[in-house]
């Protein structure tokens, strides 16, 4: 099992940047594919970015491609989401998720495939 704690959210002006972190506790972080999702008020939770166990493979939602970067440091049991050129529509609670997988290069982009979730961190972008 793994426990996930997000941090780094806050209030930022449009065009600004934030870096979210997700610290994992428990065993064998490198055995988990990781993802970031977000949920805006009144909307369903949606996929943002995902990264494979090895970090070699990544995937992004079209809405964030070219602006957000997902990365991981397996030695620190942490996954990151660097968010640049933020827009008001990026305002949401951002959640980190983990899914154990046997395959080092698999990225998991579907919400229901993730077994473990953090509590979320609020990102607010003012226009």
In degrees rounded to 5, what are phi and psi of residue 57? -115, 135
Give the number of other CB atoms < 10 A from CB of residue 115. Answer: 12
pLDDT in tens, 47-80: 999 999 999 999 999 999 999 999 999 999 999 9
pLDDT digits (tens, 9 = 90+) for 7-21: 999 999 999 999 999
Per-residue pLDDT of 97-119, as tens digits, reads 999 999 999 999 999 999 999 99
Can you give the pLDDT at residue 27?
76
Q: Are 48 and 97 in contact (CB under 8 A)?
A: no
Q: Distance between CA 89 and CA 31 in Å, rounded?
A: 33
CA distances from 25 to 16, 22, 75, 92 (A): 30, 10, 12, 24
Q: Whole-angstrom Cα distance, residue 7 to residue 80?
A: 10
């Amino acid at each position: 099992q793994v426990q996930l704690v997000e941090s780094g959210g806050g209030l930022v002006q449009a065009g600004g940047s934030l870096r979210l972190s997700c610290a994992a506790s428990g065993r064998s972080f490198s055995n988990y594919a990781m993802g970031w999702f977000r949920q805006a008020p009144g909307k369903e939770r949606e996929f943002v970015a995902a990264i494979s166990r090895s970090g070699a493979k990544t995937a992004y939602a079209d809405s964030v491609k070219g602006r957000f970067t997902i990365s991981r440091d397996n030695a620190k049991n942490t996954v990151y989401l660097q968010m640049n050129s933020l827009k008001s529509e990026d305002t949401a609670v951002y959640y980190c998720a983990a899914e154990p997988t046997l395959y080092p290069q698999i990225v998991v982009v579907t919400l229901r495939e993730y077994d473990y979730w953090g509590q979320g961190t609020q990102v607010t972008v003012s226009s």
